[in-house]
A = this chain, B = another copy of it.
Amino acid sequence: MTYRAGVVGAAGFAGIELVRLLLRHPEFDLALATSDALAGTLIAQAYPAFSGVTDLAFSTHEDADFSACDVVFLAVPHKAAMGVAPALIASGVTVVDLSADFRLKDPAVYEQWYAPHTATDLLATAAFGLPELTGEELAAAAARRAAGEAVLVGCAGCYPTATSLAAAPAIRAGLVDAVAPVVADAISGVTGAGKKATERTHFCFANENAEAYGVGTHRHTPEIEQILGLKDRLVFTPHLAPLNRGLLSTVTLPMAPGAKTTTEELVALYRDFYAESPLVTVMDAGVQPRTASVAGTVRAQVGVVAHPAGVIVATGAIDNLGKGAAGQAVQCANIVFGLPETCGLEEIANPV
């Protein structure tokens, strides 16, 4: 038996990646893809990678028959998702949301960074979708869904995914100081800036350039702090570099007083931590993750070094649209629907 899936907000970069993943998924059938802006346009016209592949057109949200869907993926902007999800859940459709609306457990924190939350009931029951770190939440959601309930998953953001996968094993092992700031400097490809054509995303401004942005103000800060338990002490600085897909987060973690470790011990610790996670590769000591080695996939590569200055430098590489967005959403859906978590997902990047 296959499941019928819909994508809301399918014309954006995360949405269209969902379309690609669902078109090639053996257990989910893509039933509808909405985009109010492009309604009536063939997907293949907006994104010519689909020429000769699918005749599906974008539909309006209003015209979409969600009742025929088993699961709907929301790839709409922050603040829009919390307006859409309740009706879907109420009608018995499981929802996997890629926006920030169902990530922050505390509505007050959400309000501080976004707006007053308008679906706090759903927020309270949402599972946080970062399977390697929140497996229990997702397993519980899967059990509820198996029992006939429509469930909601709020998937982790791209920076939080890479940063948390890199930092969590060290923090959860008690190796990291409980007071000092943690520094996460991350580099994202330009798909992370979205589909909108702006000066920022113009080829001629983004190409041959590296720059920081959102210093001290990026909205992924509270999400990372929540996952890692770093309340008010994360220094997160994102950067833009001239590549399409790829996100690398370099996390500098001050060691707890008295903690001593070696790179080899850290690698062993990390491998143990991710022993049941088929999509996370912990690199050998001395080898660093490469974003190109996970581009187009739902994999993550993680590296870790014991630094002579008394800190741990952990690095995480993902595809921001793959493990950082659409791929992870499908991974979560796989789990919630009782499928193997890697079902239908590409696991091998282009070697070059």
Binding site for B on A (CB under 8 A): 13, 16-17, 19-20, 23-24, 47-53, 180-181, 183, 185, 187, 189-191, 195, 197-199, 201-213, 215-216, 232-235, 237, 239, 241-246, 248, 250, 252, 254, 278, 280-281, 283, 287-296, 299, 301, 303, 305-311, 313, 315, 317, 321, 346-352
Chain B nearest CB from A126 CB (Å) reads 27
What is the minimal beta-carbon distance from A150 to any residue of chain B, in angstroms?
Answer: 29
Within the oligomer, what is the number of copies of this chain?
Answer: 4
Contact call A235/B313, Cβ cutoff below 8 A: yes
Q: Is B252 a contact partner of A235 (Cβ separation < 8 A)?
A: yes
A350 to chain B, nearest CB (A): 6
Hey, which chain B residues are within 8 Å of A306, CB to CB?
A: 216
List 8 A-B pairs, Cβ < 8 Å. Answer: A47-B293, A48-B283, A181-B309, A195-B352, A211-B291, A212-B289, A234-B309, A241-B242
- From B207, B208, B243, A209 is in contact (CB under 8 Å) with B243
Q: A183-B183, A216-B307 are in contact. Are A202 and B201 (CB under 8 A)?
A: yes
Asked whether B49 lies within 8 Å of A348 as measured between CB atoms, the reply is yes
Interface centre among A52, A185, A299 (most CB of B within 10 A): A52
Nearest CB in chain B: distance from A157 CB, A? 18
Q: Is the pair A215, B288 in contact by a Cβ cutoff of 8 Å?
A: yes
- Decide if B53 touches A233 in the complex (CB within 8 Å): no
Q: Which residues of B contact A195 (CB under 8 A)?
A: 202, 204, 352
A235: chain B residues at CB < 8 Å are 252, 307, 309, 311, 313
Q: Which of B20, B211, B291 contacts A210 (CB 8 A)?
A: B291
Cβ-defined contact, B207 with A20, below 8 A: no
Contact, CB under 8 Å: A204 / B181 = no
Q: Which residue of B has the minimal Cβ distance to A199?
A: B197
Report if A216-B308 is in contact (Cβ < 8 Å); known contacts: A235-B313, A237-B252, A288-B211. Answer: yes
> Which residues of B are found within 8 Å of A350, using beta-carbon distances?
17, 20, 49, 244-245, 296
A226 to chain B, nearest CB (A): 15
Kindly list chain B residues whose C-beta atoms are within 8 Å of the C-beta of A234: 309
Q: Are B203 and A17 in contact (CB under 8 A)?
A: no
List the B residue with the shortest CB-CB distance to A187: B210
B248-A13 in contact (CB<8A): no
The 7 closest A-B pairs by CB, nearest first: A52-B281, A209-B292, A185-B185, A197-B197, A47-B351, A49-B349, A203-B206
In the complex, residue of chain B having the shortest beta-carbon distance to the beta carbon of A190: B203
Among B199, B237, B280, contact of A313 (Cβ-Cβ < 8 Å): B237
B20 to A290, Cβ gap below 8 A? no
Give the distance to chain B from A262, nearest Cβ to Cβ, in Å: 11
Contact A290 B209 (CB under 8 A): yes
Specify which of B215, B216, B242 is in contact with A242 (CB 8 Å cutoff): B242
The answer to whether A352 touches B204 (Cβ under 8 A) is: yes
Report B-chain residues with C-beta under 8 Å of the C-beta of A311: 181, 183, 235
Nearest residue, chain B, Cβ from A198: B197
Q: In whole angstroms, how far apart are the Cα atoms of A283 and B289 in the complex?
A: 33
